[in-house]
Amino acid sequence: MQIILLKKLNMPSVFEYAIIRVVPKVEREEFVNVGVILYCGPLQYLKTKIEVNQARIAAFCKEIELPEVLEYIQAFERICSGGKESGPIGKLPIAERFRWLTATRSTIVQTSKVHPGITDNPQEVLERLFQQHVL
């Protein structure tokens, strides 16, 4: 009932987001931002927007296996969308999927710390964050 009321009244809702990064050499801690993942529980919103600049990544590390990295990045999109193609994690409720995707890890694809905000239009916020942090 609360979700329906928030949508009808266009009331602001709390959202959380993280930046998706490619870290070619984890030990050097250098990274390239490639996307944003945004979650808004009250509006049942979980989406990601991604753009991979392969030349920028290659500038950090020429020996990186880009097809493999792209597969890992595309997994973010599949898990956010949910469904059969997204594997067991994609079948979890969206809050759990967001927490799993943004959990701290020491791999070539990582996320920043999670940051909060308030919005009545999570899609607009996703676009703005993508422009600010990725492009």
Read off the tokens for 53.
């600049």
| pTM for this prediction | 0.87
Tell me: the pLDDT tens digits for 10-64? 689 999 999 999 998 888 888 999 999 999 999 999 999 999 998 888 888 888 8
Residue ranges covered by each domain of the chain = 2-133
Tell me: the pLDDT tens digits for 104-116? 988 899 999 999 9
Q: Which pLDDT does position 84 carry in this prediction?
A: 83
Q: Which pLDDT does position 5 carry in this prediction?
A: 47
Tell me: the pLDDT tens digits for 67-103? 888 999 999 999 999 988 899 999 999 999 999 999 9
Helices 94-101, 66-81: inter-axial angle, 10-degree rounding: 160
Question: Cα–chain-centroid distance for residue 13?
Answer: 18
Q: Could you count the other beta carbons within 10 Å of the beta carbon of residue 125?
A: 19
